[in-house]
Amino acid sequence: GENVEQHPSTLSVQEGDSAVIKCTYSDSASNYFPWYKQELGKRPQLIIDIRSNVGEKKDQRIAVTLNKTAKHFSLHITETQPEDSAVYFCAASSGNTPLVFGKGTRLSVIA
């Protein structure tokens, strides 16, 4: 079955700097890769996703890149703000299988 590895587990950045979180997956059949943000005590919320037919997707300060050959995908947050502080999860699915999540990255943005 699918295995998703996520790094780093914790990340601290100065406000205004960029943050990058990386994930690898094992199942070459996976074709859907969402990123969820979870604030303390709250539900995970989708912030961006990418499908295997594209290599990059952007939404304002957030971007995701996908390298299918290497089986890895990354989340990039630019101009970080204190409200970006949260736990971020990557996930992968083949479309017919449930999402498999990484273990999460705790991002702290220091003002």
Partner 1 sequence: GAGVSQSPRYKVAKRGQDVALRCDPISGHVSLFWYQQALGQGPEFLTYFQNEAQLDKSGLPSDRFFAERPEGSVSTLKIQRTQQEDSAVYLCASSLSWVLGLTEAFFGQGTRLTVV
Nearer Cβ to partner 1 (36/73): 36
List all residues 6 or more positions away from 57 whose beta carbon is below 8 Å from its beta carbon: 48, 49, 50, 63, 64
List all residues 6 or more positions away from 61 whose beta carbon is below 8 Å from its beta carbon: 77, 78, 79, 80
| Contact call for residue 46 and partner 1 (CB under 8 A) | yes
- How far apart are CB 46 and partner 1 at their closest, in Å? 5
Name the segment binding partner 1 (CB under 8 A); options: 14-22, 65-73, 76-84, 98-106. 98-106
| Contact call for residue 98 and partner 1 (CB under 8 A) | yes
Burial call 42-58: b when 16+ CB within 10 Å, e when fewer: eebeebbebebeeeeee
28, 29, 42, 67: residue in contact with partner 1 (rule CB under 8 A)? 42
Nearer Cβ to partner 1 (52/78): 52
- For the record, the structure tokens of 67 come out as 């390298």
H or E stretch at 47 = strand 45-51
Kindly identify the residues of this chain, within the stretch 3-32, that bind partner 1 according to CB under 8 A. 6, 31-32
| Contact call for residue 65 and partner 1 (CB under 8 A) | no
